[in-house]
């Protein structure tokens, strides 16, 4: 035991100088602690309470002489045993009292002197329990207010009192240790309660034995654990409910099944105690007669404190300190140093193992333990003991920043130790992406494929969801461990990474296509968008097949009837995959053609048609990859035939060039034919708007000089003038006239003004076009589109035309005009005669008398008799036949009303300017409309303001 290291983990408190206050005047018989106070019982019967600084708080007279006392923990009670005044000789003076320290009462007449309320007094000895000397005393609080009191006697008996003493509801029973022949060795020197679940056990110590009693409700059984014992004050209980007894040769620990560990500390053990896992011993040294107070850390095998003391009379623990009361009433208060101070002491001596054991035994927090382990690791690292240093660093995982350790072993180039540390990080799930990267780099640098397999592929190992998947894939790719990277990607469902490795690193296109086919449609669509460019470049046909399955679900959509449109809306659209064909436009055209042939009512058909039109009508797209994608034999055959043709022609490759140009022209024409078919099929007659962007189609046709498509679009949009402008631009006179014949017929919804534009074109042509002009004049004359003067003015601008071109036209027009003039002259004469007759009649009515000679009523044809009414129109009526209408002739009134209504309507129309101008604009001859308005007298009236004179 002398090899145990000694440390000063404790220090004196209260400046090392304290004593029992003078108010405690008697000889100290017993002490107890608890609930923040120290209780002292003296031979004069007083009980004194001391505070934290061992200052006197208050005291009271409990007995004539106090022998034992105990401060309870659960309730603020004090239990004492002492001698009182003997009432009768038959009754013992020894009694037990229970004081309630929360209830104070005044003593006598003085209000300044108070004492706690005594709630129970009990005589210990009765007829059934004869009197003997009390040697030990112990109280157990079962469930307040139930107390279990054990009183050890010098005759080997233990009196037990159980119950509520305040209410005098108690039971008594007696326990006896094994009968010994020597009664002097049967005194009960120590007691200890042990609660094991529902079981209640009592240790009893005599100088020659250790016994254990199992206390039950009605019975109790005892057994002897050992044939050696101990004297008074050398008995204590540990925090694990072990019984500790001290003998001169050693300190013994006892469990319920017998003797346990034994610690050979030499010297007479005057006092034993237990404090926070430390064993407290006051040992008498026989060689020099001094007493030594030692504090033992049994787990770490060290002496935490050692101090030579005077004669100790009592030892107790309170306020986290150890209090020693000496025989001369001096006292010593010893407290434990803080953990940091203890560790600093150990670090200075490089006692790291002791420091580690210390923090672990005292259940320090994990962070403090990790800090000690770190310092120990640093110490070992400085001694270049890398393996042991790493063993310490591994224990700090979770508290010490990993970069601290990693940097050290990177600098030391200890890759094996570093690998071990990184593995432990991943085991505990504390590794970051950088740690995964570093660990995989370690494996690959060591070429340790077995560990790499365990890390990557182990189902139950620490590789399962304990590392960053993308980091692992990236590192394995960078170090050419492609199979491992693919395994991780596939297991983690990282389809993009799996395909990236297959396509970019390994070039296994067939396998990539098979993998995509095995995925769910949504996942397959995502991966094709990501890596479709590579697949189209190397496997265009197979890629298009996959896209067709994705976008059409292998034709299932055609079987869904009314739900077809809704189903198509759920499928991916071909437009989503256009970007993968950016460098392979022929494959895109092939894909879209197959899709449109299969799906007729796609939600994205407008975008698809737009794309196809751009592919069909663009002249600068390269379609050489189509022939390359077909087969190699074709290419070889073409190469051989081309070489033969070159050798035969001897024209330095000119023949081949001509062949390529002809093929290119053929491809262009085929595409334009497809484009025209698409323009027509996607704009059926029943639709007002086409299934493509018309503006885009027109731009494409103009950019690529696709005349047929442009003419079709202009004609569908009823832009007839733009149609003939195309023919004019191409100087296609025959087509121009044919177009005007088709589009200039107003009976079929055409625009007759096209002939006027056509005549203007020929008038400004500057070349001989007599034949065409004659044909145009025929239609102009037939539909009376232009006046002759306009025709003459238009054709006069072309110096290449002669008068013979329009001679017949002018002659016919002059003849027609002459006939019209003659008809108009006859009409004028007729209207003049009618006007003269009307004026004469008006004048006659104004100047001459009108004679009425009718003898019959015009209405009833009976003989006219009075009263009669005669009208100026020579109609006469009975007054009774007219009724109330006597102001106008019933026969002539309708005709007059019709004329008046017509006049009123014309006057109203004269105010509607929009209608007038619309008639002028839509009429072939606007002058005739104006003349008609003047002829009807609608616009002949003018209003003039008042003049100044005349």
Q: Which of 621, 566, 555, 564 is nearest to 588 (CA)?
A: 621
What pLDDT score does 455 carry?
66
Helix (H, G, I), strand (E, B) or coil at 685: coil
**Looking at residue 940, what is its pLDDT?**
56
Which tops the pLDDT comparison, 322 or 878? 322
Q: Residue 303 contacts by C-beta under 8 Å, 6 or more apart in sequence?
A: 4, 5, 6, 7, 294, 295, 296, 297
Give the three-class secondary structure for 522. helix
pLDDT value at position 942? 52
Q: Provide the pLDDT for residue 525.
A: 74
Would you tell me how many other CB atoms lie within 10 Å of the CB of residue 88?
6
Q: State mean pLDDT over 854-881.
A: 84
Across 423-433, average pLDDT: 80
Contact between residue 788 and residue 752 where contact means Cβ atoms under 8 Å apart: no
pLDDT for the residue numbered 205:
93
Quick check: 90 pLDDT over 70? Answer: no
User: Which region among 53-57, 327-331, 648-652 has the lowest average model confidence (pLDDT)?
Assistant: 648-652
- Beta-carbon contacts of 308 under 8 Å, excluding residues fewer than 6 positions away, are 290, 291, 292, 293
**Averaged pLDDT for residues 632-636:** 36
Mean pLDDT of all residues belonging to the chain: 79
> Which of 52-61, 712-721, 815-824 is the least confident region?
712-721
- What is the mean predicted confidence (pLDDT) over 780-807? 77
Reported as a single tens digit per residue, the pLDDT across 281-319 is 999 887 777 889 999 988 888 899 999 998 899 999 998
Measured between alpha carbons, how far is 315 from 279 in angstroms, rounded to an integer? 13
Q: What is the mean pLDDT of residues 46-72?
A: 92
Q: Give me the pLDDT at residue 443, please.
A: 72
Per-residue model confidence (pLDDT) at position 252 = 93
Longest dimension (CA), the chain: 188
What's the pLDDT at 825?
92
What pLDDT sits at residue 50? 93
Q: Compare 929 and 109 and report the one with higher pLDDT.
A: 929
pLDDT band of 860, cuts 50, 70, 90: confident
Per-residue pLDDT tens digits for 548-566: 887 886 544 444 443 455 5
Which residues in 638-656 are b (16+ Cβ under 10 Å) and which e? eeeeeeeeeeeeeeeeeeb
As a whole number of angstroms, the distance between CA 493 and CA 127 comes to 88
β-bridge mates for residue 77, sequence order: 100
Going by the DSSP 8-state scheme, the letter that residue 179 receives in this structure is P
Helix (H) or strand (E) holding 263: strand 258-263
254 pLDDT above the threshold of 90: yes
Q: Which of 83, 82, 70 is nearest to 39 (CA)?
A: 70
Taking residues 840-848, what's their average pLDDT?
85
Per-residue pLDDT at 48: 94
In terms of average pLDDT, the best of 16-20, 303-307, 538-542, 931-935 is: 303-307
Q: Using one digit for the tens of pLDDT, what is the confidence trace for 564-596?
A: 555 556 777 778 777 888 887 888 888 777 877
CA distance 285 to 785: 147
The answer to whether the bond into 291 is cis (omega within 30° of 0) is no
Helices 366-382 and 402-411: crossing angle in degrees, nearest 10, is 10
Q: Which helix (H) or strand (E) holds 440?
A: helix 433-446
- Better-predicted residue by pLDDT, 443 or 417: 417
What is the DSSP secondary structure assignment for residue 688, as one 8-state letter? S
Q: Give yes or no for residue 943 having a pLDDT over 70.
A: no
The pLDDT of residue 106: 77
Confidence of residue 31 (pLDDT cuts 50, 70, 90): very high
CB atoms within 10 A of CB 394: 19
User: pLDDT higher for 316 or 359?
Assistant: 316
Residue labelled with tokens 């025959």: 734
Mean pLDDT for 508-521 is 72
Tokens of 561: 């009837």
Q: Is the pLDDT of residue 643 over 50?
A: no
Instruction: Express the helix, strand and coil content of the chain in percent, nearest 5 each.
Output: 45, 25, 30
Task: Among 178-187, 277-286, 582-591, 861-870, name the one with the lowest average pLDDT.
Answer: 178-187
Question: What pLDDT, on a 0 to 100 scale, did the predictor assign at position 879?
Answer: 82
pLDDT at 635: 31
The Cα 819–Cα 722 span in angstroms is 39
pLDDT reported for residue 246? 92
Are 16 and 34 in contact, with CB atoms under 8 Å apart?
A: no
**CB burial of residue 315 (10 Å; 0-12, 13-18, 19+):** buried
pLDDT of residue 145: 81
Residue 901's CB is within 10 A of a number of other CB atoms, namely: 10
On the question of pLDDT at 357 being above 60, the answer is: yes
Of the segments 177-191, 738-752, 866-880, which one has the largest average pLDDT value? 866-880
Q: Considering only residues 663 and 102, tell me which one the structure prediction assigns the higher pLDDT.
A: 102
pLDDT tens-digit profile of 873-899?
878 888 888 877 777 888 888 888 888
174 forms beta bridges with 159
Phi, psi for residue 403 in degrees, rounded to 5: -60, -25
Give 160 or 528, the one with higher predicted confidence: 160
DSSP state of 603: T
In the prediction, which pLDDT does 619 show?
73
Rounded mean pLDDT, 334-361: 83
pLDDT of residue 644: 35
Helix, strand, or coil (residue 609) = helix
Strand partners, 196: 199
**What is the band of 483 on the pLDDT scale with cuts at 50, 70, 90?**
low
Least confident of 82-91, 359-368, 657-666, 705-714: 657-666
- 641 pLDDT above the threshold of 50: no
Which range, 12-26, 103-117, 158-172, has the best average confidence (pLDDT)? 158-172
């Amino acid at each position: 035991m002398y090899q145990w290291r000694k440390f000063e983990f404790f220090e004196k408190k209260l400046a090392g100088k304290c004593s029992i206050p003078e108010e405690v005047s008697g000889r100290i018989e017993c002490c107890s602690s608890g609930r923040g106070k120290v209780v002292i019982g003296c031979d004069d019967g007083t009980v004194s309470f001391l505070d934290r600084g061992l200052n006197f708080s208050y005291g009271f007279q409990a007995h004539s002489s106090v022998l034992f006392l105990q401060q309870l923990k659960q309730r603020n009670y004090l239990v004492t045993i002492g001698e009182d005044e003997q009432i009768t000789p038959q009754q013992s003076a020894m009694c037990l009292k229970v004081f309630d320290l929360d209830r104070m009462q005044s003593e006598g007449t003085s209000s300044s002197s108070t004492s706690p309320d005594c709630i129970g007094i009990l005589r210990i000895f009765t007829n059934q329990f004869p009197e003997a000397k009390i040697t030990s005393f112990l109280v157990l609080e079962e469930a307040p207010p139930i107390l279990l009191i054990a009183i050890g006697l010098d005759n080997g008996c233990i009196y037990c009192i159980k119950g509520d003493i305040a209410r005098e509801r108690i039971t008594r029973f007696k326990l006896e240790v094994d009968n010994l022949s020597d009664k002097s060795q049967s005194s009960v020197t120590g007691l200890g309660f042990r609660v094991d679940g529902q079981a209640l056990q009592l240790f009893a110590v005599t100088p020659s034995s250790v016994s254990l009693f199992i206390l039950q409700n009605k019975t109790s059984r005892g057994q002897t654990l050992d044939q050696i014992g101990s004297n008074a004050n050398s008995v204590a209980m540990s925090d694990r409910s072990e019984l500790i007894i001290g003998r001169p040769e050693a300190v013994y620990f006892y469990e319920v099944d017998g003797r346990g560990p034994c610690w050979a500390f030499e010297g007479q053990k005057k006092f034993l105690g237990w404090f926070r896992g430390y064993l407290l011993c006051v040992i008498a040294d026989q060689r020099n007669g001094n007493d030594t107070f030692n504090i033992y850390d049994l787990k770490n095998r060290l002496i935490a404190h050692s101090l030579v003391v005077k004669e100790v009379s009592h030892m107790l623990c309170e306020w986290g300190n150890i209090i020693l009361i000496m025989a001369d009433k001096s006292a010593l208060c010893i407290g434990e140093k803080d953990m940091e101070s203890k560790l600093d002491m150990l670090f200075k001596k490089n006692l790291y193992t002791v420091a580690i054991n210390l923090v672990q035994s005292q259940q320090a927090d994990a962070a403090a333990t990790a800090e000690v382990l770190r310092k120990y690791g640093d110490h070992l690292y400085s001694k270049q003991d890398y393996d042991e240093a790493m063993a310490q660093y591994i224990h700090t995982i979770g508290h010490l920043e990993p970069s601290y350790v990693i940097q050290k072993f990177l600098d030391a180039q200890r890759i094996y130790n570093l690998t071990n540390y990184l593995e432990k990080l991943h085991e505990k799930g504390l590794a970051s992406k950088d740690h995964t990267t570093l660990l995989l780099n370690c494996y690959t640098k060591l070429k340790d494929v077995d560990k790499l397999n365990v890390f990557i592929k182990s189902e139950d190992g620490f590789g399962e969801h304990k590392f960053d998947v993308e980091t692992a894939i990236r590192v394995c790719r960078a170090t050419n461990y492609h199979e491992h990277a693919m395994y991780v990607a596939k297991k983690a469902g990282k389809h993009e990474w799996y395909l990236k490795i297959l396509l970019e690193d390994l070039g296994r296109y067939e396998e990539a296509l098979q993998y995509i086919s095995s995925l769910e449609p949504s996942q397959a669509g995502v991966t094709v968008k990501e890596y479709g460019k590579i697949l189209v470049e190397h496997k265009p046909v197979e890629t298009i097949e996959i896209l067709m399955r994705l976008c059409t679900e292998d034709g299932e959509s055609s079987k869904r009837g009314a739900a077809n449109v809704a189903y198509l809306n759920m499928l991916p659209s071909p437009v989503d995959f256009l970007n993968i064909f950016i460098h392979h436009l022929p494959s895109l055209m092939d894909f879209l053609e197959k899709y449109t042939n299969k799906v007729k009512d796609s939600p994205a058909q407008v975008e698809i048609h737009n794309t196809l039109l751009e592919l069909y009508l663009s002249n600068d797209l390269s379609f050489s990859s189509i022939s390359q994608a077909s087969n190699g034999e074709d290419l070889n055959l073409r190469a051989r035939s081309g070489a033969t043709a070159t050798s035969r022609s001897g024209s330095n490759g000119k023949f081949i060039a001509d062949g390529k140009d002809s093929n290119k022209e053929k491809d262009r024409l085929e595409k334009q034919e497809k484009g025209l078919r698409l323009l027509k099929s996607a704009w059926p007659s029943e639709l007002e708007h086409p299934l493509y962007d018309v503006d885009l189609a027109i731009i494409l046709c103009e950019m690529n000089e696709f005349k047929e498509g442009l003419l079709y679009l202009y004609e569908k949009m009823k832009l007839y003038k733009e149609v003939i402008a195309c023919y004019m631009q191409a100087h296609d006179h025959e087509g121009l006239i044919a177009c005007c014949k088709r589009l200039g017929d107003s009976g079929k919804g055409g625009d007759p003004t096209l002939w006027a534009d056509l005549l203007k074109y020929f008038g400004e042509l500057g070349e001989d076009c007599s034949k065409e002009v004659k044909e145009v004049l025929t239609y102009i004359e037939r539909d009376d589109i232009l006046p002759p003067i306009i025709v003459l003015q238009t054709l006069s601008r072309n110096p290449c035309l002669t008068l013979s071109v329009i001679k017949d036209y002018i002659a016919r027009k002059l003849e027609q005009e002459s006939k019209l003039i003659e008809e108009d002259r006859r009409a004028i004469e007729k209207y003049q005669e009618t006007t003269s007759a009307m004026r004469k009649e008006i004048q006659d009515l104004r100047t001459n008398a009108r004679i009425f000679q009718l003898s019959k009523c015009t209405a009833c044809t009976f003989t006219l008799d009075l009263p009669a009414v005669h009208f100026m129109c020579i109609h006469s009526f009975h007054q009774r036949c007219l009724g109330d209408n006597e102001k106008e002739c019933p026969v002539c009134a309708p005709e007059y009303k019709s004329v008046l209504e017509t006049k009123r309507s014309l006057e109203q129309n004269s105010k509607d300017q929009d209608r007038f101008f619309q008639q002028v604009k839509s009429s072939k001859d606007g002058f005739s409309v104006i003349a008609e308005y003047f002829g009807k007298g609608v616009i002949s009236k003018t209003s003039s303001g008042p003049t100044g004179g005349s």
